Amino acid sequence: MLKVIGMRLKRLILGTFFILLLVLLCYNYVSNDNYRDHIVGGLLTDYSENQIAVSGEVTRIYNDGFEIYVFSNDKFYRIIADSKVSLGNDAYISGTLNSHNEIIANKIVITKGDEIIFVIFRSLFGAIMFLLIFGRYWKFNREKMLFLRKYSDFPDQKILKNPRRWGHQKSIVPERLGNAVHVKKSVFGVAKLVLQTSRFIILTAFSKIFKKILRRK
Amino acid sequence: MPDWITHILVPWTLITILGFKFKQFNQQNAAITIIGALIPDIYKIYIPLEIFGIHLENFLNPIHFPVGSLLIAAFLSLFFIERRLIFSFLTLGIITHYALDLLLFNGGICLFYPFSPLEFQVGIISVTDYNITIASIIAAFMVYFIYKRANK
């Protein structure tokens, strides 16, 4: 019992530590302007110093280009390019940054609102798919605050027949944190052992008594 | 980002293929890898929050960087018994996510945050491109039928 409480406390401390670290990272990102200039590092090609990649909403259209508003660094960029855009389109641009927030674009991708909605719709479908897959193989134990593998009601009968072949070893679950199935099994095991022992004792006693009675007769 | 269908099917396909050879790569652990593949997109929670006037896009951005995603994976692995194993599969999922996101043309990812502000991208496909989704669905179906046939 003490071990289980200790484990929970350890998990709580570790969890708090990870979340605090993440909050610190997020705070560092927001407070440091360097990270919001969107400087591109070349992955396949060499990169020049002023090469940036930004995405934002088209706010103005000029003869030789257009203007976008980038929310992440709260800046307006003037893009010099031949692309046809409409107000309100989302534009992804990579290019060379000149003075006065002017970008000579190398590559531009324009996305419309309905295309983004289609992506979100597909992602929602994906989310449902994920929930179905996860729910099929894992269950959450509220008491222990742990996700446990579904052993007892696993859908694939082959795995039930031969769990070791499929990597489902019962020994993976430690006894001290064992799930309800294990506890149930051990309780039934002890009860069965007690019953069998008592039956053996009673039968032996009865047989001895009967033998004595028969000898007397 | 490619849509979540791609982010789910690519790790599932990968794990199922590896499962033919290694028993640890089973369907239960595939579900964990899928969680890992979705971890970096937790930062998208800013979209519904914006409806309520809460702007957290910049603040939550580090979740979509490897260091932030790994911290969340470490946090999530605390909710499982086999922490190291689960963390490994979550990390595998995170790797597949960034491998897919690097193909995009959407502004890049700070792979080495907080050590470098440089953003990386290959820029082959656009965010709304569904060809990669179709390719991943076809690949997943093929692997599924092979998997079913092998388990008969």
How does residue A1 score in pLDDT terms, banded at 50, 70 and 90? low
Identify whether the C-beta of residue A47 lies closer than 8 Å to the C-beta of residue A97. Answer: no
The CATH homologous superfamily for domain A51-111 is Nucleic acid-binding proteins (2.40.50.140)
Where would I find the H helices in A154-179?
A: 157-161
pLDDT number for residue B49: 87
Contacts of B34 in chain A (CB under 8 A): 130, 133-134
Which structure tokens are listed for A123?
A: 């992602």
A119 pLDDT higher than 70 = yes
**ipTM score above 0.85:** yes
From the list A38, A77, A37, the residue with the least C-alpha distance to A56 is: A77
The alpha carbon of residue A200 is apart from the nearest alpha carbon of chain B, in Å, by: 40
pLDDT for the residue numbered A174: 43
Separation between Cα atoms, residue A202 and residue A180, nearest integer Å: 33
Which member of B4, B28, B108 has the closest CB to residue A149? B28
DSSP structure string for B1-14 = ---HHHHHHHHHHH
Please identify among residues 63-122 of chain A the ones whose CB lies closer than 8 Å to any CB of chain B: 71-72, 92, 94, 107, 109, 111, 115-116, 118-119, 122
- Cα–Cα distance measured from residue B144 to residue B148, given in angstroms and rounded to the nearest whole number: 6
The more confident residue out of A161 and B138 is: B138
